[in-house]
Amino acid sequence: MGKDIGLCLVYRDMWQSSGKYMPRVDQLVRVAGPIVDMGCFRRVETNGGGFEQINLLYGENPNHSVRQWTQPFNHAGIQTQMLERGLNALRMYPVPGDVRRLMFKVKKIQGTDISRSFDGLNDTRNLKLSIDYAKEGGMISQAALCITYSRVHTVDYFVNMAGELIDMGAEEIAIKDMAGIGRPVSIGKIVEGVKSIKKDILVQYHGHSGPGFSIASSLEAARAGAEIIDVAMEPLSYGTAHGDLLTVHAMLKDAGFSIPDINMKAYMQARSLTQEFIDDFLGLYINPYNRLMNALLIGPGLPGGMMGSLMADLENNLKSLNKWMEKHDRPAVTQDELMIRLFEEVEQIWPMMGYPPLVTPFSQYVKNAALINVMQMMKGKERWSLLDDNTWDMMLGKSGRLPAPIANELRELAVAQSREFFEEDPQDLYPDALDEVRKEMNEKGWDHGEDDEELLEYAMHPQQYEDYKSGKAKKAFEADVTNRRKNKVATPEAISPAPVADTMPKALDISVNGEKFKVEIAYGNRTGQKAAEKTPSVSEPVPSSNGIYQEILAPLEGKFYGSKDSGEKALHVGDSVQEGDVVCYIESMKVSNAVKADKSGTVVDIYFKDGDEVMDDDVLFKLKP
């Protein structure tokens, strides 16, 4: 008999790495039985990551979903595990310490056994509370090494990091190869290094297929002493997801490992149900490109978990960019051209940004900066001419220590913009908040829920929870599914198509006898158009060219918001604006981008309202000097 080795089915992650959503709770409960009956899994990844937010977007209660989904595995003696993001817990931005603490307690009570905790910067300080709170809540604390490949991220770097986490009390170590670019031999050496620190510590390997290394890496990890290998299954294995169960199982068995057989009848049931869920509605959010492996990802090292949103970003920004190109009599750009330029820019700027591991949310920040740089430079502007605050916070140290210093030009830009660097513990920036959240829930008449689980949900995802409670989320989701079915849209992001009129011009500049005028066009009562406009009209002369009116244009596509939060006042007609003032925000690619005035004046007109879709170069504000 060879050495025993276990498999973990990452059922949650294989969905989220393929598209935007994963199955509803009624579907998850149906597939749980066949997964148990397959008889080959020691563990199943059930929740964590974006699971709770996805439930809220459906208009479902995530707490009920976790309890129902984990129960069959609990009864069968199969361990359940979740993914959490350290300082960011279950969301994309930092979470107060008392909310993090409550999360582990609640998730254990709901049926989750193991917490896989990772920090997007590999800053072990951000994982100390995760380790402590997981163990305090009765969970097994598994701390993750976020694997990437660079001159900084060596075998010794990861082994030393594992040593720090073990000293902090981590009970297991995960090799989280989120982009699948860890070289197989190096993965084996990392596992050996971890085992040299603590021989009996459990090591689990998690690798996305991406460029194709992960099958070989799974074997190297197993040979070096890893006890558990993560797998996906058809019809969602490979591509941006993970190695396939059948392949990994056969490979490990041939290598002499002792591994339970697969009940193929149950396997076919689980496979068939998974395909049924895709055919039902989930396939509407899975881009076909995400089913393909892509060796081009070796260079930029972008992770499988974000490739779905990447393809949507490329599609949306390509449309916006080509609109600008046409307006300026330049040739259109293809999606492949934009993708290659993006990959090259990621390789260029990643070291400049301090080599943050390309994992949520920092992979998004690097990718966003690269894509915006590419688009801005194609328009003749400078690199770094538009950087969102989340990306700045990462580079300033407010999310933790970067693996390497940022480039001098970024440091100088930070100083020029009066931005301050932070070197202390990032958790200190986010004080406890549960008392305030309790107060808000009491004022709204909302119950805190069994074991304070509703309190946790509201504290963790306030806006999504409010949309769930009001019914807004469910209504929007159902409308989006109906629209996609009607139009057979197969993209990974749930972006409601703009009305036809939104693709038409809002204003035209015309010349009459050498004098320039602005023609403002209305298309009925549509979103983003001024209610007072009823018919096309010729208004006063525009332009900066004749000194009468100035315009502030959108620097990128996305959703318009007049303010970032309730504490900030949005601009109104009649307000004065100085050059350099923040005039609004455009939410694009999961971050909020501040739009600054490039001229001064008094606001005469505002062309959009909160939530409206804007395209690159759309007129946002009209100013009178």
- Strands, DSSP E only, in 429-502? none
Distance CA 430, CA 172 (A): 28
Tell me what pLDDT residue 493 has: 41
The answer to whether the Cα torsion of 527, 532, 538, 540 is positive or negative is: negative
Specify the pLDDT at position 312.
65
Output Rg (C-alpha) for the chain, integer angstroms.
25
Judged by average pLDDT, the poorest of 105-114, 440-449, 576-585 is: 576-585
pLDDT tens for 53-97 read 999 999 999 999 999 999 999 999 999 999 999 999 999 889 999
Residue 22 CA to residue 476 CA, distance in Å, equals 17
Contact 194, 150 (CB under 8 A): no
Summarize the confidence of residues 355-377 as an average pLDDT: 89
Q: CB count, 10 Å around CB of 16? A: 22
What is the distance between the alpha carbons of residues 616 and 332, in angstroms, rounded to a whole number?
A: 15
Calpha distance 349→368 (Å, rounded): 11
- Looking from the CA of 133 toward its CB, the CA atoms found within 13 Å total 24
Structural domains of the chain, ranges and CATH numbers in brackets: 299-429 (no CATH), 500-624 (2.40.50.100)
User: Is 58 buried (19+), middle (13-18) or exposed (0-12) by CB count in 10 A?
Assistant: buried
Q: Which residues, at least 6 apart from 133, have a Cβ–Cβ distance to it below 8 Å?
A: 100, 101, 103, 104, 105
What is the model's pLDDT at position 305? 60
Task: Give pTM, 2 decimals.
Answer: 0.81
Evaluate whether 36 touches 78 at the Cβ level (below 8 Å).
Answer: yes
CB-CB neighbours of 334 under 10 Å: 11
Q: What confidence tens digit (pLDDT) does each residue in 226-244 have?
A: 999 999 999 999 998 999 9
Q: Count of CB atoms within 10 A of residue 269's CB? A: 18
Q: Which residue has the higher pLDDT, 375 or 29?
A: 29
C-beta of residue 110 within 8 angstroms of C-beta of residue 73: no
Strands (E), 536-618: 537-538, 550-553, 558-561, 576-577, 582-588, 591-596, 601-606, 613-614
Beta pairing partners, 552? 621
Distance CA 154, CA 172 (A): 21
Longest dimension (CA), the chain: 93
Look at residue 157 and tell me whether its pLDDT is greater than 90.
yes
pLDDT digits (tens, 9 = 90+) for 181-222: 999 999 999 999 999 999 999 999 999 998 999 999 999 999
Tell me whether residue 152 is exposed, middle or buried, using C-beta atoms within 10 angstroms of its C-beta: 0 to 12, 13 to 18, 19 or more: middle
Lookup: tokens for 150: 């660079």
Choose from 299-308, 494-503, 613-622 the range with maximum mean pLDDT: 613-622
What is the per-residue pLDDT for 516? 46
Two structure tokens written together for 500: 């036809």
* pLDDT tens by residue, 245-283: 999 999 999 999 999 999 999 999 999 999 999 999 999
Q: Which amino acid is at 267?
A: Y
Nearest to 374 by CA among 556, 552, 503: 556
pLDDT number for residue 596: 86
User: Can you tell me the distance from the alpha carbon of 540 to that of 547, in angstroms, rounded to the nearest whole number?
Assistant: 12
Confidence check: pLDDT of 499 > 80: no
524, pLDDT greater than 80: no
Percent of the chain with pLDDT over 70: 88
Residue 65: both structure tokens together: 């979903």
Residue 1 confidence (pLDDT)? 66
What is the average pLDDT value for the chain, to the nearest integer? 87
Q: How far apart are CA 144 and CA 174, in angstroms?
A: 4
Q: What is the pLDDT of residue 20?
A: 85
Question: Which residues in 115-145 are b (16+ Cβ under 10 Å) and which e?
Answer: bbbbbbbbbbbbbbbbbbbbbebebbbbbbb
Order of strands, edge to edge, in the sheet holding 507-512? 507-512, 515-520, 537-538
pLDDT for 527 beyond 90: no
What is the rounded CA–CA span in Å between residue 140 and residue 312? 36
What is residue 291's predicted lDDT score, i.e. its pLDDT? Answer: 83
